[in-house]
Structure 1
Amino acid sequence: MAKLRPRARLIRTIGDKLISGPEAAIIELVKNSYDAEASYAKIKIFPPRNGKPGEIHITDDGHGMTRDVILGHWLEPANDTKTKRAHSLSGKRKVLGAKGVGRFAAASLGRFLTLESVADTKGEKEKNRIDLDWQIFEEVKYLDEIDLDITTSTCDESTDNGVLIVIKEFLTDWTEERVKSLIQELKKLASPIHADDKFNIVLDLSEFLECNEPPYNFDGISVLEEFNQLSENSFDGEDNEDVSIIKPFSIRKEADYLLEGKFDNHGAFSGYFTILRGDRKKSEIEIPAFKLSSEELHCGKVDVELRIFDLESQSVEKLFERMGVNFAKIGLRKAREIISKNAGIGIYRNGFRIRPYGDPDQDWLKLEKRRVQKPSVRIGHGQVSGFINVGSEEESKLIERSSREGLENNGAFLRLNNLLEKLLLTIEPKRFDFRAKAGIGRKPKPSIDKARSIASLEEISSAIQSLTPEQQKPILLKIEKESKALTKSLDEIEEYQKLLESRAALGLVVGQVIHDGRSYLVPLESHSKSIIEHAPFLLDDSKKGDLVREYYPTYGAGIKTAVDGLKSLFKSLDPISGRKRGRPMNFYAKEVFDDVLNLLSDELISNNVNVDLCLDEKVMLYGYKQDLQSSLLNILHNAIYWISSVENEGGFIFIDSFYEGDSVAFLIKNNGPEIDKDDVETIFDAGFTLKSNGHGLGLSIAKEACINSKGDLILLERLPLTTFKITFPRSKEVV
């Protein structure tokens, strides 16, 4: 009978050919340290110097390997120990390696390998050493012809367990670019969120000095400081006690949008979409599972957390301001570079990244291809940073390739791609709607005032000052005539613009009335229908009659709730209705403020907001009482909403007043989030909103209501608290 006899060079094929590069090889050895329950894995690279070959030392403090383990497991390529045992020896960690080939990654790093291991065995400490020259696997024909020596000895009980791997004679030059690549790979190896226990990756580059021979003549510590700090910790003002401890790439605390949640075993998603640059309210996302195609397999439970960014210059500046970063110091180019280096969606398993998912240039979901058709709606690869966490290979059917370069392109991986695409299709319209209402990416609004300044032709008038008075006179007359003509045209354009804006606002109002009105009509229709249908059974002495009598009061209550909603809706629109409301009257301001605060009392209590009203009872106003009431309702409701959107010890609203000529000025201050300076000019525009589900009419209606009574509403800038100022005509009556 014929038998298979593995060639000796198979070992080099496994290590040198399947492991894609020296960075991947080191990662495999670090994973082995993790599986051995080490608290750290330390990598130190010694460049060649004075004729001495380069070395790589990898040390850990794990449980180590006994002689039996080295013979029965470490020296058995592709053994199934980890496949059968899903957890480490103590059961604390899920093992990362399962194919039994990672240890031979060392073959791609250097010609010689020395392994020293200290472990507990039979009540004593055992030290084992094995030396390998990988070249022997090229020189000898068959594996069973190679004999390897293991030296075993006992050592002092105080000796710490662990493994030291020494690799000599580099097969790859560790240039500055290669070292930077290693730092980036190690930073992305451990998930910043799913690492359940302490495991540090330490990289010592202290032997890289500028006095070394090329290509090793660079300052390793400086490179490590630069590339190990390009993370969220760079901006927290925290000192890094040990720069050699690798800092995982953090999913930033701040972004513009956050998508988080879980897919269940069947592919149904449950989670939230939060507009972080808006009101930070969580919007619930529920997506039912869709049927498997003939090519798909279920991919198990999947955790998702994605941070999404807007990349316009103003958006980037606001993002870094929310992070507490001095944007002027780093600039737009550096800020975008930081976002770019954090871009990518990583796939993690057991807290460790599956390479290469999550690399900035790894667009495995083909987001840029999707974005070509609808660039204003679709989210691009460079706009998203995050992770998805998948289950074990058995649970998810997501199988890691033997080359350690990604997952097999099977039915489960196809299902994962389709699930995530479906999820993005659900939240992309929400982001698009918010951007439209917040005016993000919109062209600057044309300024009539700027045009008026140009129309004065002051620069031309100044330019002719060098001419004689006789020469100036006809030119100045011509300039004056043209300036008046331009100004008149601008007046007409401004009037027409105001007309268009009012019609646009009216369209938004009508749309909102239809939307809200329908929500009230549905219960009206349902309950009134139930009353009519069940009326014949109202007096029946039967179970049906008992049931009808039990539910009849709920029909009435439902109708009353809907009617109250319609009344409230119509009342809020009254100030901009344009209908005749009789003559303006004198009224006491405090009565209106008290009525409004009474209407909002439940909302104030539920959101833990206190109101301090400092208002003289004798302050009397002249105008339409409902105008002031409508304006106050919108302003205070808005204030309560935004106060509740942030964490603070207690929200408060402070209301003060003073006389200002023939008017009374009311200052309404709150300790909610500060209004961005870029939004000040548009905050009263109809349709502008930063709320997740806002319609952008509240402040527009509030301002219009004040104007209807010859008053005004403005936002006071550069104050420590958000402050709105209402001016309202004061009564001429003497109180």
Structure 2
Amino acid sequence: MNNINHTYKIRPAGRHILTIGRDLIQNNYAAIVELVKNAYDADSNKVEINFSLKEKPKNISKLEQLSEKSLFITIKDYGHGMSRDTVINKWLVPSTNDKLERKLSPKGRVMQGRKGIGRYAASMLGSTLLLETVSTEAEKTVVFVDWLNFEKSEYLDDVEILVKSNTVDEKPCTSLTIEGGREYYEEWDKKQFDKLRFELKKLIPPIDKSINKDEQEFKIYLKISGFSSEWDIEEIITPYPIFQLYDYRISGEIHSNGTGFLEYSVQKAKNTVLEKINVKLNTPTNCGYLKFDIRVYDREAESIEQLISRGLKDEYGVYVGKLQARQILNISNGIGVYRNGFRIRPLGDPEFDWLKLNEQRVQNPSLRIGSNQVIGYVSIESEEQSNLIENSARDGLRENNAYRRLQEITKMVIAELENRRFSFRRKVGLHKPIRSIEHGLEKISSLNNLKDNVYSKLISSGMSVKATKEVITLINKEEDQRSRVVEDLCRAVAIYQGQATLGKIITVILHEGRRSLNYFRNEIPRINKFINSFYKTNEFKYIDKIIDISKKTMIHSKTLSDLFARLDPLAAGKRSTKKTIHLEQTISECFSIFSQQMKNNQISYEIRGDGVINAWKEDIMAIFTNLIDNSIYWLIEKNNDKMKINIDIMSENNKLRYVDIKDTGTGIQSFLIKNKDIFEPQFSTKPQGTGIGLSIAGEAAERNGLKLTALESNQGAYFRLINMGIEDE
């Protein structure tokens, strides 16, 4: 066959328009939302949505007239309308970039429908579309679209659409009338209309003051008639009123440079003080300016009752009961993402946990909140300013670096609330403090109260003192047996805590050992190669290479051996005996575990002084391993110019008095130091923290007659390990 070279033009198929409308738009609710956004772009101060079920026109038989109905959906706005030229060259052009290029409406609103596909959402709602629009020059243009024509036509340019225009004495407006038969109106029942109302209510930000004055002027009217008298609705869409009530709230703003402020407040108790929190991320947000308003609700029965007593009402202004209160929380929860006054679906839907809050709560239920406890929003900037880009299918944001950064910062803001909520609940008795295992075991083993009560009861009942003492002796034997069991359990707990510390830093351990293992894997196989080469040539240069590999193998072997030796106390399967420990040497061993990580991140340390203490080495290593691990994390997080950990060992006659551990990281907030929450099991200020590090360190200290406390500092974290034995002397 001879070569034939021609150029061709791509001709979209006729059903291409239907693909844009029906396949890219998620569902009927999303279709309505797209058309509402177009009304907003037209600078209208309101949009009217009217659903009605009517008899078909009388151009059919009487029999059919009685049985057939049509769905009519009218969406009307009172904006600037469109001229005939705009209708032909922009409205009828799929995926036009007109709004993308203009960015702003004549009144200065940021355009919502930038993809140029929203108007084709009408094809999901009915079989025909009637457009009637009046421009500011009083030019009225009418367009009738039958979507079936696109289905039948082979190519898009085969479809002919009649456009009529004339001059009228009418104010600017645009009206879309969508009609559909049984297959369309059967899609709508009471449940579906309730879902539509929910979508429209969540479309607009929950608090009016969060949006500018022009956006507040945009109202959504909804009317439903002709389906059932029970479904008839005529209302102005407003946000759910529950948002005005909350147990805990955090709100504020973070600028694109990473600085900002937050405010934390509690409504659950009277006379609580609004707390202001300064934010400094040390890096730009990389997702633009962000504004937050997040409200959290406790879900215990007592908390629900308090919420009702503070004036919880439904959307009709009627006070609700417990079941209704829970239902309102269930349908209203979620953190929405809003841009220019409109929510980006499905972010904020109850079933769409875009922040993975439920996953975090499973790991740490005492501290973290679940998605069904929170109602709120994050306001973001335009795509150009934030790089937060909406998907073409209108199903959320593109999962790029900016989106991941938005997730990180939002979770950081929520963590600020979670930490304070944890403290408040503990203070008012809503959260039972988790006692250390050892304290709990000691309480179980002690029978002192029982002995006192038994002694008094027996004596008062007339039993002789001798007989009573014999009973107490039996109880003492039981107590001794329990004490021995508790001692065994405490030893086991200490072993498990050491192993937990080992597991906590496993990433560091793997990194430290991987260099040596990689050397063995890559270099040792070369020895055989050089041996074979030597046999063939008798050249001693190959012997030199073997010797060089052997020397380096010895170095890496010692590295691994030293690493395992340092880790051995933490990994011990059996509890050692107490012995005299030189702190400077033991702390140096702990630092050496993190040597490569500290080198990679340019973190230095200094140990000043020395002292001895009689203690279990595995406990001392657990204390300092956890403290160093925490310091490294927050130093990397802060990423300032001076990254250093200082250890000061203060002794008296060479006997330890106390150790100060300081770093130049982010520091610890004052309220956490005062209420000692940081030592509570499961409490953590790290986004993915387990809350075991400081708890293990604190319990390991107590086992050895030490006390670990946090002190105030304006330069970073500051811990002090005190030898209580010195104070007692």
d(CA) in 2 for partners of 1:328 and 1:100? 42
Give the alignment's Cα RMSD to 1 decimal.
Answer: 3.2
Alpha carbons 1:312, 1:441 under 8 Å: kept: no
Q: Match of 2:368?
A: 378
d(CA) in 2 for partners of 1:207 and 1:245? 19
Is 1:388 paired with 2:364?
no
Alignment CA distance shift 1:274-1:410 (3 Å) = same
d(CA) in 1 for partners of 2:461 and 2:226? 79
Alpha carbons 1:251, 1:307 under 8 Å: kept: no
Q: Match of 2:161?
A: 148
Is 1:286 paired with 2:278?
yes
d(CA) in 1 for partners of 2:300 and 2:28? 38
Summarize deviations over 1:180-204 as a string: whole Å, max 9, x none.
1111111111113326331221111
Q: Match of 1:309?
A: 297
Return the match for 2:263 from 266, 272, 287.
272
d(CA) in 1 for partners of 2:414 and 2:294? 10
Return the match for 1:220 from 227, 231, 236.
231
d(CA) in 2 for partners of 1:325 and 1:100? 40
Alpha carbons 1:206, 1:220 under 8 Å: kept: yes
Alpha carbons 1:346, 1:387 under 8 Å: kept: yes
Alpha carbons 1:260, 1:271 under 8 Å: kept: yes
In proportion to residue count, which structure has more helix?
2
Q: Match of 2:146?
A: 133
Alpha carbons 1:28, 1:105 under 8 Å: kept: yes
Partner SS for 2:140: strand
Q: Match of 1:202?
A: 221
Is 1:40 paired with 2:78?
no
Alpha carbons 2:312, 2:320 under 8 Å: kept: no
Alpha carbons 1:118, 1:160 under 8 Å: kept: yes
1:401-550 alignment runs, 5 A limit: 401-442=391-432
Q: Match of 2:310?
A: 322
d(CA) in 2 for partners of 1:203 and 1:324? 25
What is the identity, as a one-letter code, of the residue corresponding to 1:191?
Answer: P
Alignment CA distance shift 1:324-1:384 (3 Å) = closer
Superposed displacement of residue 442, structure 1: 4.3
Q: Match of 1:643?
A: none
Is 1:84 paired with 2:101?
yes
Summarize deviations over 1:634-680 as a string: whole Å, max 9, x none.
xxxxxxxxxxxxxxxxxxxxxxxxxxxxxxxxxxxxxxxxxxxxxxx
Superposed displacement of residue 362, structure 1: 1.7
Alpha carbons 2:136, 2:171 under 8 Å: kept: no
Is 1:259 paired with 2:250?
yes
Alpha carbons 2:79, 2:174 under 8 Å: kept: yes
d(CA) in 1 for partners of 2:222 and 2:374? 29
d(CA) in 1 for partners of 2:80 and 2:299? 48
Is 1:30 paired with 2:36?
yes
TM-score, normalized by length of structure 2?
0.54
The unaligned stretches of length 5 or more in structure 1 are 211-218, 225-242, 444-477, 483-487, 489-690, 697-735
d(CA) in 2 for partners of 1:348 and 1:21? 20
Summarize deviations over 1:565-596 as a string: whole Å, max 9, x none.
xxxxxxxxxxxxxxxxxxxxxxxxxxxxxxxx
Partner SS for 1:47: strand
Alpha carbons 1:283, 1:692 under 8 Å: kept: no
Partner SS for 2:402: helix
What is the identity, as a one-letter code, of the residue corresponding to 1:52?
Answer: K
d(CA) in 2 for partners of 1:263 and 1:376? 28
Partner SS for 1:435: helix
Q: Match of 2:610?
A: none
Return the match for 2:203 from 189, 192, 203.
189
Q: Match of 2:531?
A: none
Is 1:104 paired with 2:120?
yes
Alpha carbons 2:249, 2:295 under 8 Å: kept: yes
Alpha carbons 2:242, 2:312 under 8 Å: kept: no
Summarize deviations over 1:267-293 as a string: whole Å, max 9, x none.
34421211222333122223321558x
1:565-584 alignment runs, 5 A limit: none
Identity value in percent: 37
Is 1:177 paired with 2:191?
yes
Q: Match of 2:177?
A: 166
Q: Match of 1:594?
A: none
d(CA) in 1 for partners of 2:366 and 2:136? 62
d(CA) in 2 for partners of 1:244 and 1:361? 26
Superposed displacement of residue 145, structure 1: 2.1
Partner SS for 1:244: strand
d(CA) in 1 for partners of 2:339 and 2:461? 76
Partner SS for 1:274: strand
Alignment CA distance shift 1:261-1:132 (3 Å) = same
d(CA) in 1 for partners of 2:371 and 2:312? 25
What is the identity, as a one-letter code, of the residue corresponding to 2:171?
Answer: D
d(CA) in 2 for partners of 1:695 and 1:325? 36
Alignment CA distance shift 1:312-1:127 (3 Å) = same
d(CA) in 2 for partners of 1:368 and 1:269? 27
Is 1:335 paired with 2:325?
yes
Alignment CA distance shift 1:99-1:328 (3 Å) = closer
Segments ≥4 residues shifted beyond 4 Å = 324-329, 691-696
d(CA) in 1 for partners of 2:318 and 2:73? 42
**Deviates most, 366-375 or 297-306:** 297-306
Superposed displacement of residue 114, structure 1: 0.8
Is 1:8 paired with 2:14?
yes
**Deviates most, 44-53 or 425-434:** 44-53
Alpha carbons 1:434, 1:692 under 8 Å: kept: no
Alpha carbons 1:12, 1:107 under 8 Å: kept: yes
Partner SS for 1:363: coil
What is the identity, as a one-letter code, of the residue corresponding to 2:226?
Answer: E
Partner SS for 1:71: helix
What is the identity, as a one-letter code, of the residue corresponding to 1:108?
Answer: M
Alpha carbons 1:281, 1:692 under 8 Å: kept: no
d(CA) in 2 for partners of 1:27 and 1:324? 29
Alignment CA distance shift 1:441-1:289 (3 Å) = closer
What is the identity, as a one-letter code, of the residue corresponding to 2:247?
Answer: D
The unaligned stretches of length 5 or more in structure 2 are 1-6, 56-65, 434-457, 463-467, 469-670, 677-729
Summarize deviations over 1:194-230 as a string: whole Å, max 9, x none.
26331221111122225xxxxxxxx222xx4xxxxxx
TM-score, normalized by length of structure 1?
0.54
d(CA) in 1 for partners of 2:188 and 2:41? 27
d(CA) in 1 for partners of 2:44 and 2:319? 41
Superposed displacement of residue 342, structure 1: 2.0
d(CA) in 1 for partners of 2:318 and 2:340? 40
Partner SS for 2:96: coil
Superposed displacement of residue 111, structure 1: 1.0
Summarize deviations over 1:522-542 as a string: whole Å, max 9, x none.
xxxxxxxxxxxxxxxxxxxxx
d(CA) in 1 for partners of 2:378 and 2:282? 19
Superposed displacement of residue 66, structure 1: 1.0
Aligned length: 422
Partner SS for 2:430: coil
Partner SS for 2:236: coil
Alpha carbons 1:116, 1:130 under 8 Å: kept: yes
Superposed displacement of residue 249, structure 1: 2.8
Superposed displacement of residue 331, structure 1: 2.7
